[in-house]
A and B are shown apart, each in its own frame.
Chain A
């Protein structure tokens, strides 16, 4: 990276007793970039954001924002960042304007400067007409937008967005993603955590894949997909799959990775354009009931599968069950 990074993380470790939540994570984010932290629930993304937001202290390692150490000079570092937590961190019985005025004051804004900035942001998130309404009267999407606006009041160098689209409908999700894109085109650096592959692919200039506290890969989408050497992905939705047939497919030299999920199978293909008939023949001869077969180009899902041997949504489900 040629320019001075706005976020620099070096060998960051966070332990809770025996549990290692963040395990020697290092990465850098350049000014003006949208950097995504992609990983299943419980991978350690939120802990990384908490350390960078000065809410949690690291066990070891270092992190800086605009060259300011988040541990030794946390008050200054905090004034440079905007934080949008996963939860709707707003006061439900206060109005949108009252919330923004309060959070602005927490960042040292006063009087007319604050009032002007609040008006600007209400306009940016398209809620000027609802400024006087209480937050508990808002829809989920409107709350999300005010939640983001509260992180932008003091014009931070970098905005941390921690899974801002969890639990919202597709159209609201799209409007949030568009808002983040718009803010980025205006020059804002964004650190975005998500467990949705499509969000990371749509939004992020570069992605760091996090699993079990470790950063297992960092790069642009193309860099990451090229790194696994796959030329295609075959996704099969089927019933009646067993381990024997999956193992047989995984042993084919044209297939670099095979992973089962609840409703089917994903295969990373490294070469062999005519592999599809072989796969279908083998599955049908083994008594598998095939519902659909898709052939796609490699994506971040393929990268995650290649690196962990599991699909991302599969690991999310596992972690949710554990929680």
Chain B
């Protein structure tokens, strides 16, 4: 009960503090608006322009690939020479250029390595990322088709060598199979009804900034444990008939309620100002928000417990949160980073928190779809809390 009174007191003080309110709500909403504006101010990307550098006589495979890449209304494709493509991407006229090498068909038939290159404009990372993912789909289909075709040939050739006309017919069937796989993939994202890829910049960045500023708010909140020590109120609490566990529990509870209020309010403001649809499973969104609030609360408490003063909590905590937000993709699309970088990101709270919200928004995941994120953040929270309590107890001893 005394812990509850400590929580209510902390909450009352935090909500009276204008700086807290600015950090809680104004900054994340403002940053999301600025980033949205920087990416063109559109909530969706309706056209992705890119150049295709391909040999004129590339054969059926190149024509099929080029056809696939340009078939969607989302894409605006033009053929160009390599030199023109490099210049256009460097000047920012195009988001990317796809370069298909000479002899792709020969490589396909023989299984020798070939390289399809995507030249990206770093300033247009999202559009370039979309192109890259489409090219990856084509390349993986071609690779699979090549391996499958050569496997079939080897098997059939064992008993009786195939005639030229049989080989031609078989490869023809293989090309048809791949074209069908591209146009109607057996396993793929459902894009059948989409006229545009609904990549909402605000929807992508809003949860990232929400997580980032949630951590900052929690850091300010956790720092009060040092402020109370410095002002003498912590000592006075210790002289009152209640355990230190109750004091810490009260402070964590107050922080947690504040965190939950912040993230839920930001979700509401995201819908209100940017029209973000947080998926069609409100229950899952609320659970994700509450689990994220718990993770941020416990992580900030651990940082405060590890620091010796309020100022150290601020300095170390701010640096730590910024690095973690960069690694975890709260401030930029981590999907565009190399795999090795993304592996680092997986060790951060931000990665899983932002990831959970992205699944809710872009995959329309329900509770079952975000169990991994919920489990990992919950486990992180438990570890953070235990470490924070141990550190605080050790400091007192």
Contact = CB atoms under 8 A, between A and B. Distances in A.
Interface string A83-111: 10111111111100010001101111000
A105 B238 contact: no
B232 A89 contact: yes
Contact of A81 (B16, B17, B239): B239
Given A53-B239, A81-B239, A89 B231 contact: yes
A78 B232 contact: no
Interface in B214-258: 231-233, 235-243
B13 interface: yes
Nearest to A49: B239
Given A85-B236, A86-B232, A91 B241 contact: no
B9 interface: yes
Contacts of A79: 241
Given A93-B16, A94-B13, A106 B5 contact: yes
Contact of B13 (A78, A81, A91): A91
B87 interface: no
A54 interface: yes
Contacts of A166: none
A98 B8 CA distance: 11
B242 to A, nearest CB: 6
A75 interface: yes
Contacts of A50: 235
Contacts of B17: 93
Specify which of A54, A92, A98, A106 lies most central, judged by the most chain B CB atoms within 10 Å of its CB. Answer: A106
A251 B203 CA distance: 89
A85 B232 contact: yes
A150 interface: yes
A55 interface: yes
Interface residues of A, number: 28
A78 B240 contact: yes
Given A87-B232, A88-B232, A89-B233, A103 B240 contact: yes
Contacts of A75: 241-243
4 closest Cβ contacts across the A-B interface?
A: A87-B232, A89-B232, A83-B239, A106-B240
29 contacts: A50-B235, A53-B235, A53-B238, A53-B239, A54-B238, A75-B242, A76-B241, A78-B240, A79-B241, A83-B239, A85-B235, A85-B236, A87-B231, A87-B232, A88-B232, A89-B231, A89-B236, A91-B13, A91-B233, A93-B17, A94-B9, A94-B12, A103-B236, A103-B240, A105-B5, A106-B241, A107-B241, A108-B241, A150-B236
Interface of B: 2, 5, 9, 12-13, 16-17, 231-233, 235-243
Given A94-B9, A106-B242, 8 more contacts: A53-B239, A55-B239, A79-B241, A83-B235, A83-B239, A94-B13, A107-B240, A107-B241
